[in-house]
Chains A and B, each alone.
Chain A
Amino acid sequence: MVLYGNAWQNDYLRYGVDFGILEGEGIAIVTRDGEATLYLDDPFEADRASVECDDITIVVCKDIVRDVAAKINSFDNSNIAAAPQRHLPYGLAQLRQKHNIADATVILDHLLMVKAEEELQAVRRAARLADEGYAVFRDAAQIGVEDYALIAQIEAFFRANGVDDNFMIIGVGGPEMRGMAPPSGKKLKAGDLVTTELTPCIDGYYVQICRTLVVGPPNEAQQKAFSLYHEAMIAGIDKVAPGVSASDIAKAENDVFRKYGLGDYVTSEYTRVRGHGLGLFPDTKPHILEGVETTIEQGMLLIVHPNTYHPEVGYMVLGDSLIVGPDGAEVLTTTPRELFSVPQTRSAS
């Protein structure tokens, strides 16, 4: 099996060889008898891989596509599959017909979605750090601080505590705020909603928490809106069980918005997904969306987050990660489901 990865879409590669690539590209060839060779195009990454993954063969390439193509061309009468199909470099994709290379994306997708117990151990550690990370975030939030300085606090905390990577976006503002993005230098001011998705990665496994805080006391509209998101998240989590579909969970969340006349705000114009899978990728399948009929299975790791735009207060987020157990959700993140408030008296020096 030929597995491609880079620091963005690393999950297929990491599943095969457990290397968290940061720079350049990596391609692993994993044989049925368990031999794994990792091709890397960056000599420093190859150094790092040789320290972090000492049980695989590492090859440094000047032209990774050419070298892996040569290796594939050397296989005689082998059944070869590759994943992920969309990202396989064109120079290798061109070999699909010649070598009858099968698409292994669906096989890998299922392996990535349903976790083994050893994987769930890393997941639980990551969940603990997601909670601790949000506490750091909350403590660092104060009037006058720039959004990127908030993130600096989190990243420093994570690096000191064994978190290799973190997916994180942020929103600062009010009704004009339509979503989250990387920090742009906004300074927190009284009345702002501050939203974040925090997604620490431990040993390759990402767990997410979504929370919203208000700088100063929340107003009535913000509190009322938050109670709606809270109700929607609980409705979604309560729906989680083996055998239901991703669509069922999304519908449970969205029905709460519809009940309050906010059905327009669960459409793609205002929100992307109502949750998603987590694991070796911070936004993996299944996407929790009405219309996605993927069956939920025991051992899946999901986040349920009814994050969307609210016309009165702006973009608001709330979400908890969970493992699908035999009887329903085992919620991992333990940060209180509150609309947090930062005292207005706390100001950046």
Chain B
Amino acid sequence: MRHGLMKWREDELSQADVLSRQYRLQKSMEADGIDGVLIYTNHVRSAAVTYLTGFTPYWSDALLFLPVAGKPLFATALSKRVGNWIKSTNPTSTIDHSPRPGELIGKHMIALGCKKVGVVELDHMPGGLIDEIIGVTDVQLVDASTMFAEARTVRDAAEIALAKKANQIATDAFASAPKERLLVGDVTEALELYVRNAGAEECYVAIAPDLQKDTRLARTKGQVELGETFAIRLSIAYNGVWIRRTESFLRTAGDDNLTQLARWADGLSETVDPSLAMASQLATSSRPAGASISGWTLEAPIGNRPLQAVATEKNQTEQSLPYGVLTIQLDTKQGSFVLARPIGLHLSPPTAEGAV
């Protein structure tokens, strides 16, 4: 569940910001002859509804229906007692409650005269909710994932600012981590405390406690001993926007070679464009001597998941992305290391488009 700071902050993400996003998707609907777009949300598959409304459910699930014109309807099984909280954090939607939110949305589609509705990630929609919808209406449901992803690729100043803020929290958290550390908990406790005190909505910490043995990052118990080198991944949500940052460490002291690798990764985050071919961008970057890239993964927010893998060294696709997170495995004479940085945050958003 989400249990960090969750509140509407007009200065960080304004109603005008999310209304512009809704307007952009509505223009795509018009062009595609779609009467509305339906999106599922829970706190795991939250990103599409968060993008359109700024709202993330801390618990339970819900449906958002954005008609081709007009205000979105947010239908949830959460009780009316939680309604005030939802209204306070989802100001651009009409909120309605029902133990059968699919049925409620289906009736709303009928009232609006919808014939064809796009569903983001239709195949992933809970079958029970689809059953509720088709139990009350014979509206045609079509997949709208591509349409949504395309509308969502526009770099958005508010989103980039939030991603930068999340990245700064992660950077500062790592900088504040204790330098004397023996156990996993010595580090993870301090990181979690820092990140949540800084107002993060969520924080996941994964660790590879001994990189010489295993570079895979997992949710490791606090009492496990750290090896000579270890890596930590911080996944942070701040006001609905997710980033990851992974750092590799020596257990006992700083190391010039590791510092050089980290600076190289910092440099990448200032130069790499997530929408361009990653392999060639990495090939032309000037890595520290003796370091070779053994693998990489590019993640981005394109659909319902806050971050999802869109390209790897084995699957090198290109697509327009608002921003990304690049994770790199590096081999050096000292061993293997893992680093991750948000990328594309330095690129300028286009001039805001779309009247509200």
Contacts and interface: CB of A to CB of B under 8 A. Distances in A.
Given A159-B188, A178-B81, A182-B3, A164 B127 contact: no
B123 A90 contact: yes
A47 B128 contact: no
B170 to A, nearest CB: 15
B247 to A, nearest CB: 15
Contacts of A44: 206, 217, 233, 297, 327
A116 interface: no
For chain A, the bracket of interface size reads 35 or more
Contacts of B306: 23
Most A-side CB within 10 Å, residue of B7, B79, B126, B312:
B126
B1 interface: yes
B1 A89 contact: no
Given A47-B218, A181-B85, A23 B5 contact: no
Contacts of A92: 127
B5 A156 contact: no
Contact of B127 (A9, A86, A162, A272): A86
Interface in A304-332: none
A184 B206 contact: no
A152 B124 contact: no
Contacts of A162: 221-223
B132 to A, nearest CB: 9
Interface in A117-175: 146, 148-149, 151-153, 155-157, 159-162, 164, 166-170
B205 interface: yes
A87 B128 contact: yes
A99 to B, nearest CB: 14
A66 B5 contact: no
Interface stretch (A48-56, A214-222, A241-249): A48-56
Contacts of A152: 4, 192-193, 195-197
A24 interface: yes
Nearest to B9: A185
A183 B206 CA distance: 24
Interface in B207-229: 214, 216-219, 221-223
Contacts of A268: 79
A88 interface: yes
A156 B189 contact: yes
Interface in B233-256: 233, 235
B212 to A, nearest CB: 15
Contact of B4 (A65, A86, A156, A183): A183
A52 B309 contact: no
Nearest to B129: A86
Contact of A89 (B2, B79, B126): B126
B44 A24 contact: yes
For chain B, the bracket of interface size reads 35 or more
Contact of B42 (A8, A148, A151): A8
Contacts of A168: 1, 3
Contacts of B126: 86-90
Interface string A4-48: 001111000000000010111100000000000000011110011
A181 B58 contact: yes
Given A8-B61, A93-B130, A184-B6, A65 B305 contact: no
B305 A24 contact: yes
Nearest to B206: A48
Contact of A51 (B43, B129, B214, B297): B214
B351 interface: no
A146 B189 CA distance: 19
A89 B122 CA distance: 9
A181 B59 CA distance: 10
A155 B192 contact: yes
Given A48-B218, A93-B127, A148 B4 contact: yes
Given A24-B305, A155-B196, A156-B190, A89 B82 contact: no
Given A48-B216, A182-B2, A90 B197 contact: no
B91 interface: no
A148 B5 contact: yes
Most A-side CB within 10 Å, residue of B5, B221, B235:
B5
A179 B219 contact: no
Contacts of B219: 20, 22, 48, 52, 164
Contact of A167 (B1, B4, B186, B312): B1
Given A65-B123, A159-B185, A166-B3, A6 B44 contact: yes
B128 A85 contact: yes
A340 interface: no
Nearest to B224: A162
Nearest to B195: A152
A20 B189 CA distance: 20
A184 B84 CA distance: 13
B81 A25 contact: no
A184 B5 contact: yes
A47 B46 CA distance: 23
14 contacts: A6-B42, A9-B42, A42-B305, A44-B297, A66-B123, A85-B127, A86-B129, A156-B193, A161-B222, A181-B85, A182-B4, A183-B3, A185-B199, A272-B79
Given A87-B126, A89-B123, A149-B196, 13 more contacts: A24-B308, A25-B124, A44-B233, A48-B216, A90-B130, A151-B4, A152-B4, A159-B188, A161-B222, A167-B3, A168-B3, A184-B5, A268-B79
* In the A-B complex, the 3 residue pairs with the closest CB atoms: A93-B127, A91-B123, A86-B128
